[in-house]
Structure 1
Amino acid sequence: MAAPIVQQVVDWDDYVGRFEAIQSVEVKPRVTGYLQSVNFRDGQYVQAGQTLFTVDSRPAQAQLDQARAQLARAEATLVNARTELARSQTLAASRAASQEEVEARQAAVRAGQADVNAARAAVRAQQLTVGFTRVTAPISGRVSERLVDVGNSVTADQTVLTTIVSTNPIHFAFEGSEALLLKYQRQKAGAERGTPVRIRLQDESTYAHAGTLDFVDTVIDTGAGTVRARAIVQNPDGFLKPGMFGHMRLAGSDPYRALLIPDTAVVTDAARKVVYVVDKEGKVVARPVDLGPLSGNLRVVRSGLSPNERVVIGGIQRATPGQKVQAKAGRIPAPAAPEARPEAPNYAPPSSIATPVGAAR
């Protein structure tokens, strides 16, 4: 027999989900033409603004030269109109020209200025078109394989050349039950932005990747009775890839004081759970208890047991309520580190596991 261990613990709930890129972009050209070059390696990490593809710029350059010529013509016409206006104003001052002629020259200057402005706008537009023949990365991230080879024709805003996904940080998306969401909201724990999470991959035995809850959807899926949520995880080395499957534990409670006993000390009696304790007279007494999650190899007891009671932890199969026994003092070992489960459901019951506060998970 031994007294329960008293310890501060935190409940963790289990989920499964997949990693998702925070940003994902389809790279498309903004001009129509023939692809001239590819300037990256498939799978390479690229920086925002880096040139990925080049479209043949000669047609766009010819249109730019034409627009510049139109601008030069408009500017020459405007200079001539201003000269004519100055001459008419001089003649009008000596009454050698009419006021109507002056006003006509002024209108010609205004029209010439408008033509210059339009020509300058056309030049800027063509400069943009020439610039768009260089297809650059809109974001920093890992580029996929090229989908179009050099020599093929591409169409502006339609042809997908490749895709880019951001790598750091990365999202972990999962779904939880409506029951868990209600529990979190009533306890004001577990469903708030910034709540800690721990994640392990399929081939890992520990929850080595730390993150925080980033988003909980505002709508419940009426068909499945679940709510979508996601966590944000730092990924500086890019090891975590979008689409990877993972198991996640979300802190489902604030730290609380718990009694811990070996899970093997719990006996099922019909629909209830009981533990055997030895009273002051040395008799075995069955105590109905309300159980919580596992903490390593120990079970959290929420109610029904007091810290100073002596719990039967060995030879339970020989214990009978009301029987007088000669108990031997024993010792409950400290909680072992929680082991990763080989399989996990879409969501676990509330408080699927508990860990001591401050313990490595």
Structure 2
Amino acid sequence: MTKKKSIFVWLCLIVLVIGLVFFFWIRNRNSHNIPVHAENATAVQVAMASQTDVPTILSALGTVTASQTISVTSLISGHLEQIYFKEGQYVQKGQLLAKIDTRPYEATLQQYQGQLAESQAQLTNAKLTLARYQRLYAQDSIAKQDLDTQTATTAQYEGAIQSAKGQIASAKLNIEYGRIVAPISGYIGIRNVDIGNLVTSSTTNIATITQTKPIAVTFSVPQTRLDEVVQPIRNGGKLIVKAYDQQGKTVLAQGEVGVISNEIDSTTGTVKLKAIFNNDDNKLFPNQFVNVKLQTGNLNNAIVVPTAAVQAGTSGQYVFVIDQTSTAHKVMVKTGPQTEDGKTVISSGLTAGQKVVTTGVDSLGNGSKVKIVKAKQVDLSVLDAASNKKSGHGPR
């Protein structure tokens, strides 16, 4: 290699090295020009504070109670002769439920009817004798004492007839009591006695009937909220009550407040209420525990945000508001009631249209820079494929 060629090669190598150094220098400088706040921005999800009408709700735990609960008993003593109902069936008022052996009472009835006939015959004879004594006394043929005695005898037989008639009516009533009928409409429970057993008067509970249409729910509200309940009802209004399942998600029935207790429970500081429900679909069952929500009024044009946006601190409740420069600001707020769709009323501290952080709050501080992101949509087909793969089932 000649000297000129050697110099040329070295120059090329030097240019190449300088070019590579310059390239990496430019690349490194551009990477360092990224704004610091963009690198440290916290990813959050936000929601808009909105304005709407919100119903004022009182929440409580309630117990379902039957409108009426009747123990089916016999008013006479005797052997259970027949049963005409199936356990658990719905029975109508006046429906025949059971039959008691009434033959002893029928025999007694015949006895009293015989006594009545005897007394009537004696009364007829006594009246004839009294009429004869009255004629003889008018002729001064008998003493006044004999006439008085016969008059008393006649009255005695009249009393015996009245007594016999009363005994006959009582015997007929006992025979009628042998037919046990449903005093109310409702579902009859488990039978407590079998055919052939001796049923005693007013002590043997044959079964129990519960009236579930309508049905009631009892619950209590704090005495501090009493005015919200008492005043509308005493002014002739109606307060709507909704009964939810134990998870508080599914509405079982809707009714209205029917009764307010006349006193405050001094041990709990609450007032007991009773709400009445039609229960046409039988979703409420006696002794069932339900979550109760009582609507006492409406807040017009209230500011609401998702409940997840409201945080609690040592100095009170607050939310993080995002301004137009993507900066989070801690704002103290006062809250009101919660709505059924998972939102909370903001009484003060916010205006409609402000953005509040709902997800990512734990990583924020006052003045933190944020990057607003949207919740990712999950492809259900991917989840199904993963589930099938895990269970060992492939596509069909």
> What TM-score range do you get, normalising by the shorter chain?
0.7 to 0.9
Residue 272 of structure 1 and its aligned partner are, at CA, apart by 2.2
Which residue matches 2:55? 10
Which of 141, 144, 155 is matched with 2:189 structurally? Answer: 144
Whichever residue aligns with residue 56 of structure 2, its letter is D
Is contact 2:184–2:209 with CA below 8 Å preserved after alignment? Answer: yes
User: Measured at CA, do residues 187 and 49 of structure 1 come closer, stay the same or move farther in structure 2, by a change above 3 Å?
Assistant: closer
Gaps of 5+ in 2: 1-45, 373-396
Which residue matches 2:304? 260
Is contact 1:190–1:251 with CA below 8 Å preserved after alignment? Answer: no
What whole-Å deviation, never above 9, does each CA across 1:285-341 have from its counterpart, x for those lacking one? 65422112333243211123345x744558986987679x9999xxxxxxxxxxxxx
Residue 184 of structure 1 and its aligned partner are, at CA, apart by 2.9
Q: Which moved more, 1:249-258 or 1:273-282?
A: 273-282
Find out whether 1:184 has 2:226 as its counterpart: yes
Is contact 2:216–2:274 with CA below 8 Å preserved after alignment? Answer: yes
Give me the whole-angstrom Cα distance separating, in 2, the residues matched to 1:260 and 1:98: 107
Which residue matches 2:75? 30
Q: Percent identity?
A: 28
What whole-Å deviation, never above 9, does each CA across 1:95-131 have from its counterpart, x for those lacking one? 3333333222222221111111111111111111111
TM norm structure 2: 0.71
Whichever residue aligns with residue 14 of structure 1, its letter is S
Q: Which moved more, 1:131-140 or 1:215-224?
A: 215-224
Greater fraction of residues in helix: 2
Which residue matches 2:155? 110
Which residue matches 1:274? 318
User: Measured at CA, do residues 197 and 123 of structure 1 come closer, stay the same or move farther in structure 2, by a change above 3 Å?
Assistant: same
Is contact 2:223–2:264 with CA below 8 Å preserved after alignment? Answer: no
Find out whether 1:167 has 2:212 as its counterpart: yes
Which of 56, 64, 84 is matched with 1:39 structurally? Answer: 84
Give me the whole-angstrom Cα distance separating, in 1, the residues matched to 2:218 and 2:259: 9
Whichever residue aligns with residue 161 of structure 1, its letter is I
What whole-Å deviation, never above 9, does each CA across 1:125-179 have from its counterpart, x for those lacking one? 1111111111222211111122111111111111111111112000112344xxx
Structure 2 counterpart SS, 1:149: coil
Q: Which moved more, 1:115-124 or 1:191-200?
A: 191-200
What whole-Å deviation, never above 9, does each CA across 1:270-297 have from its counterpart, x for those lacking one? 4223345578999976542211233324
Which residue matches 1:53? 98
Structure 1 counterpart SS, 2:213: coil
Which of 199, 203, 208 is matched with 2:243 structurally? Answer: 199
Residue 68 of structure 1 and its aligned partner are, at CA, apart by 0.6
Is contact 2:90–2:187 with CA below 8 Å preserved after alignment? Answer: yes
Residue 2 of structure 1 and its aligned partner are, at CA, apart by 8.4
User: Measured at CA, do residues 31 and 83 of structure 1 come closer, stay the same or move farther in structure 2, by a change above 3 Å?
Assistant: same
Is contact 2:67–2:214 with CA below 8 Å preserved after alignment? Answer: yes
Which gives a bigger RCO, structure 1 or 2 (Cα 8 Å, sep 6+)? 1
Gaps of 5+ in 1: 329-361
Give me the whole-angstrom Cα distance separating, in 1, the residues matched to 2:188 and 2:274: 24
Which residue matches 1:99? 144
Q: Which moved more, 1:196-205 or 1:46-55?
A: 196-205
Once the two structures are superposed, the pairs formed by residues 209-220 of structure 1 within 5 Å of their partners are: 209-220=253-264
Find out whether 1:293 has 2:314 as its counterpart: no
Is contact 2:228–2:296 with CA below 8 Å preserved after alignment? Answer: no
Structure 1 counterpart SS, 2:205: coil
Whichever residue aligns with residue 291 of structure 1, its letter is T
Is contact 2:242–2:292 with CA below 8 Å preserved after alignment? Answer: yes
Residue 77 of structure 1 and its aligned partner are, at CA, apart by 1.1
Once the two structures are superposed, the pairs formed by residues 340-355 of structure 1 within 5 Å of their partners are: none
Is contact 2:74–2:201 with CA below 8 Å preserved after alignment? Answer: yes
Find out whether 1:153 has 2:201 as its counterpart: no
Is contact 1:277–1:287 with CA below 8 Å preserved after alignment? Answer: yes
Residue 20 of structure 1 and its aligned partner are, at CA, apart by 1.2
Structure 1 counterpart SS, 2:212: coil
Greater C-alpha Rg: 2
Whichever residue aligns with residue 333 of structure 2, its letter is V
Which residue matches 1:233? 277
Is contact 2:62–2:289 with CA below 8 Å preserved after alignment? Answer: yes
Find out whether 1:302 has 2:302 as its counterpart: no
User: Measured at CA, do residues 197 and 244 of structure 1 come closer, stay the same or move farther in structure 2, by a change above 3 Å?
Assistant: same
User: Measured at CA, do residues 122 and 143 of structure 1 come closer, stay the same or move farther in structure 2, by a change above 3 Å?
Assistant: same
Whichever residue aligns with residue 255 of structure 2, its letter is G
Structure 1 counterpart SS, 2:114: helix
TM norm structure 1: 0.77
Is contact 2:261–2:271 with CA below 8 Å preserved after alignment? Answer: yes
Residue 236 of structure 1 and its aligned partner are, at CA, apart by 2.2
